[in-house]
Chain A
Amino acid sequence: MTGRPRLVIALVVAMLLVTFLGYQLVANSDQLLVSVAQLRADQDGAAHKTVQLTGQVVSAPDMSGDRKRFVLRDDGSPQTVAVNYSGAVPQAFKIGRRVIVTGTMSGAVFVAKPGSLLTKCPSKYSAGPGQ
């Protein structure tokens, strides 16, 4: 490869790298993904930020009204947290399912962003997701 094409290609590669690294440094787009225990323990300031919370649904008395509430339990410990939620309830949501919901801790309750509820698959292999 002669000089000039090689230079141009090197420049293009450099630009791609700069774009990538630049974004990483400047944008603050990553979000913590915490368990109930980590949220309760305020690990890494989780109780004061918008985080993704994951846990197992242990009670969900009314999911068809406008203001929904359900309780999530930690995987490894008996700690629980109540979640206030509004918006679409995904397929596959039920007691015993693991879910992910985005929001912020407010007092004793986790206030979720509307529509941010995701269900995880049951512990067996299943190609079906839920959002």
Chain B
Amino acid sequence: MSTVGTVALYVVFALAVYATGAAVLAGRRRDRRLMQSVSNALVAAFVAVVVAVAALEYAIVSHDFSIAVVADHTSRQLPLPYLITSLWASQPGSLLLWLTVLLGSSALVMYQNRHRNRELLPWVAAVMGGTAVFFSAMAAFVSPPFAKLPAAQIPANGFGLDPSLQNPYMAAHPPSLYLGYVTLTVPFAFGMAALITGRTDARWLLSVRRWTLISWTALGVGMLLGAHWAYVEIGWGGYWAWDPVESAALMPWLAATAFLHSVMVQEKKGMLKVWNMVLVSTAFALAIFGDFLTRSGVVNSVHSFVQSAIGPWLLGFLAAVIAFSVAMILWRLPLLRADHKLESVVSREATFLFNNLLLLALCFAICWGVVFPILSEAVRGIRSSVSTPYYNFFLVMFGIPLLLLTGIGPLIAWRRASTRSLARTFRWPITSAAAGTVLLWLAGLGSSWAGMTALSLCIFVTTTVLLEFARGTSARMALTGAPPPRALFDLIGRNRRRYGGYIVHLAVVLLVIGIVASGSYASVGERHLARGQSMVVDGYRLTNTGLFQTREQNSVTSHVRLAVSHDGKSMGTLDPGLRLFTDTQQVSNEVDIHTSLLTLTDLYTILQGIDTNGSGGVSVKVLVNPMIGMIWLAGGVFLLGALIALWPDPREVRMLARRYAGALAREA
């Protein structure tokens, strides 16, 4: 079976090389037959990589331990669902996942554009094909998934999957992230195609808007899945450690956020054309950089892997991507002149531009934090790294103005807003934010100025979004006489991008509330509790009522039973434990969490140590994380908003059909 897989990967490589070369030829000669063959080649490559995936899955499920990745990451005891998802637990396996998503996207792009975008498509295929050449070469030659162990080293049973990874969140996290990373290739390919053909009009933007939104959503959800897993499984009470590999996903997400906004400026005003080309290249480059950080072992990260052969190759590919995009942009600079000028800083265009600047500044600060250890080692011979205080500083400095702009943007008019209209539109948001600030202060939240500011701005943003919905609905009601629910439904239906975007802004508010409340207003208690002893944290009383043990297939867990009460009312028990895996002698934290359904606040308990003298005393750490569940709720709201924004708009379809009518139909 592994032979079939290996052959399939060689086939993928050959097809990618053919597709790239033939696409360039088809683009220059405008040969439609050749282009059809290129399209077929990319589809065939997708089929071939699926064959390779099937071959590897077969090897995993049938416990073929002669294959290195199967032996290293699976075992006979591993349950079937985790056997299947262990495909991406290994370096070569995850590379295969990347390649599958890449070729799947390429095939889908070819299919979507089978009757349009004739001028751009060959070059889109060439860029995507070129990327596929690189990754398939890595999979086929540098880091092959079907590499075999020497006969003498084939074990009877594999090493198994790390227990902390046997968790549904961890199973879903890499596919979501990879969907996000890899689909950034599509906007990049279209952007380069636009530059190559000189078709720097808005056509390429329209094609990539949805792909960018999908990528952005997948990256965001992927990060939240990873964060939630860290929170419940790793058990230190937090969800984000500013680990370089976490930042590796955050950076392209920030660039994609900037791009989603600046795209609107180009569509409506024909401005920021150069900027959009730079952004789309930056987002793709950051995705490759993220892959490099994760695989190369060059940064000291809990996620990263020791020096892998693929690192230098990825760096080379990254350099090629940057060089290529810079060259293309510089070549076509004359064609990227704006249709309109920025006339006032008090306008939506300017708001979007400032939003872009802040997002990229934050991205750059994070990038510096990630790269700094590498640079310091190169210069001083010893590694120096930055940690949470550095990142939090910039998150606050750049994030708070961003939050303010999130509220301003929807309410400000395009081109130029007059002072009178500004005063009118911002009256309610500013008043409610001010009132809210006073209430927050009275509630005792003044201990953190950053927290208070952020929460006040959350009130500001929420008010602006609700006002937008309210005003839009009443305008619609005045126009059509429909009742409020119908008017609201129509309003959203006729302006899907705008209102989907507003829902996403609400998700951002939820996310900020969750981060700020749990970050700035958390309580911690760390105590030794003898049997029968209690501790109080933020109004919760926890009592050590004794130890007990539970036994699983390959582990024994020692729990402490903590009786919990709040304001005298009993809330049941929480049983954090320490798990000892009998086969590997590994000890792991099994935290126990109580989530309040009303405020989404968590009471989080960690068992840190058990007294060895048998007295039943324990050492526990208890955290109260206010409203931390808002963060996970935000993920769901992100998805909802993104889905609404993604939904096709029939009016826009008609407008585009009219624009590309007649002789230009093939460019539609």
Nearest residue, chain B, Cβ from A4: B345
Give the number of residues in B that approach A within 8 Å (Cβ atoms).
84
Do A27 and B341 touch across chains, with their CB atoms under 8 A apart? no
Do B384 and A33 touch across chains, with their CB atoms under 8 A apart? yes
Q: Does A88 contact B (CB under 8 A)?
A: yes
B residues in contact with A31, CB < 8 Å:
384-387
Interface string of B556-571 (1 = CB under 8 A from A): 0010000000000000
Do B89 and A33 touch across chains, with their CB atoms under 8 A apart? no
Do B236 and A115 touch across chains, with their CB atoms under 8 A apart? yes
A91→B302 CA distance, assembly (Å): 11
Do A92 and B164 touch across chains, with their CB atoms under 8 A apart? yes
Do B608 and A87 touch across chains, with their CB atoms under 8 A apart? yes
Do B300 and A33 touch across chains, with their CB atoms under 8 A apart? yes
A95→B619 CA distance, assembly (Å): 23
Nearest residue, chain A, Cβ from B617: A66
Q: Does A120 contact B (CB under 8 A)?
A: yes
Q: Does A2 contact B (CB under 8 A)?
A: yes
Do A20 and B342 touch across chains, with their CB atoms under 8 A apart? no
A97→B596 CA distance, assembly (Å): 37
Give the number of residues in A that approach B within 8 Å (Cβ atoms).
59
Do A130 and B89 touch across chains, with their CB atoms under 8 A apart? no
Q: Does A107 contact B (CB under 8 A)?
A: no
Q: Does A121 contact B (CB under 8 A)?
A: yes
Do A126 and B89 touch across chains, with their CB atoms under 8 A apart? yes
Do A129 and B587 touch across chains, with their CB atoms under 8 A apart? no
Do A38 and B382 touch across chains, with their CB atoms under 8 A apart? yes
A residues in contact with B397, CB < 8 Å:
19
Q: Does B70 contact A (CB under 8 A)?
A: no
A residues in contact with B394, CB < 8 Å:
19-20, 23
**What distance in Å separates the Cβ of A29 from its nearest Cβ neighbour in chain B?**
5
Partner of B165, one of A2, A23, A100, A126: A126
Partner of B234, one of A64, A114, A129: A129
**What distance in Å separates the Cβ of A55 from its nearest Cβ neighbour in chain B?**
12
Do B585 and A65 touch across chains, with their CB atoms under 8 A apart? no
Do A91 and B305 touch across chains, with their CB atoms under 8 A apart? no
Do A91 and B621 touch across chains, with their CB atoms under 8 A apart? no
A residues in contact with B447, CB < 8 Å:
none
A residues in contact with B471, CB < 8 Å:
none
Do A126 and B236 touch across chains, with their CB atoms under 8 A apart? no
Q: Does B589 contact A (CB under 8 A)?
A: yes
Do B385 and A54 touch across chains, with their CB atoms under 8 A apart? no
Q: Does A118 contact B (CB under 8 A)?
A: yes
Interface string of B162-192 (1 = CB under 8 A from A): 1111000010011000000000000000000
Q: Does A110 contact B (CB under 8 A)?
A: no
Partner of B164, one of A20, A91, A115: A91
Interface string of A52-84 (1 = CB under 8 A from B): 101000000011111010000000000000000
A residues in contact with B358, CB < 8 Å:
16
Interface string of B329-347 (1 = CB under 8 A from A): 0000000000001111100
Do B383 and A5 touch across chains, with their CB atoms under 8 A apart? no
Partner of B365, one of A2, A20, A88, A114: A20
Q: Does B584 contact A (CB under 8 A)?
A: yes
A residues in contact with B350, CB < 8 Å:
5, 8-9
A residues in contact with B609, CB < 8 Å:
64-66, 68, 86
**What distance in Å separates the Cβ of A18 from its nearest Cβ neighbour in chain B?**
11
Nearest residue, chain B, Cβ from A11: B345
**What distance in Å separates the Cβ of B351 from its nearest Cβ neighbour in chain A?**
12
Interface centre among A52, A64, A128 (most CB of B within 10 A): A128
Partner of B300, one of A23, A54, A65, A66: A54
Interface string of B314-356 (1 = CB under 8 A from A): 0000000000000000000000000001111100001001100
Do A127 and B173 touch across chains, with their CB atoms under 8 A apart? yes
Do A130 and B353 touch across chains, with their CB atoms under 8 A apart? no
A121→B72 CA distance, assembly (Å): 13
A91→B382 CA distance, assembly (Å): 28
A62→B372 CA distance, assembly (Å): 36
B residues in contact with A4, CB < 8 Å:
345
Do B165 and A128 touch across chains, with their CB atoms under 8 A apart? yes
A128→B588 CA distance, assembly (Å): 13
A44→B380 CA distance, assembly (Å): 9
Taking A121-B303, A125-B90 as contacts, is the C-beta distance between A94 and B235 under 8 angstroms?
no
**What distance in Å separates the Cβ of B292 from its nearest Cβ neighbour in chain A?**
14
**What distance in Å separates the Cβ of A88 from its nearest Cβ neighbour in chain B?**
5
Do A27 and B303 touch across chains, with their CB atoms under 8 A apart? no
Partner of A130, one of B73, B164, B606: B164
Partner of A66, one of B233, B373, B611: B611
The 10 A-B pairs at the shortest CB distance, nearest first, are namely: A125-B91, A129-B302, A33-B383, A94-B586, A16-B361, A91-B588, A91-B164, A123-B306, A66-B609, A128-B165
Q: Spell out B's residues near A (CB within 8 Å).
A: 72-73, 88-94, 162-165, 170, 173-174, 230, 233-236, 238, 241, 243, 245, 295, 300-306, 308, 341-345, 350, 353-354, 357-358, 361, 364-365, 368, 372-373, 376, 380-387, 389-390, 393-394, 397-398, 526, 528, 558, 578, 580, 584-589, 606, 608-612, 619, 621
14 interchain pairs (CB within 8 A)?
A5-B344, A9-B350, A20-B394, A29-B393, A30-B384, A32-B383, A46-B382, A64-B580, A65-B610, A86-B608, A90-B589, A93-B587, A100-B302, A130-B234
Q: Spell out A's residues near B (CB within 8 Å).
A: 1-2, 4-6, 8-9, 12-13, 16, 19-20, 23, 27, 29-34, 38, 43-44, 46, 52, 54, 62-66, 68, 86-95, 100, 114-115, 118-131
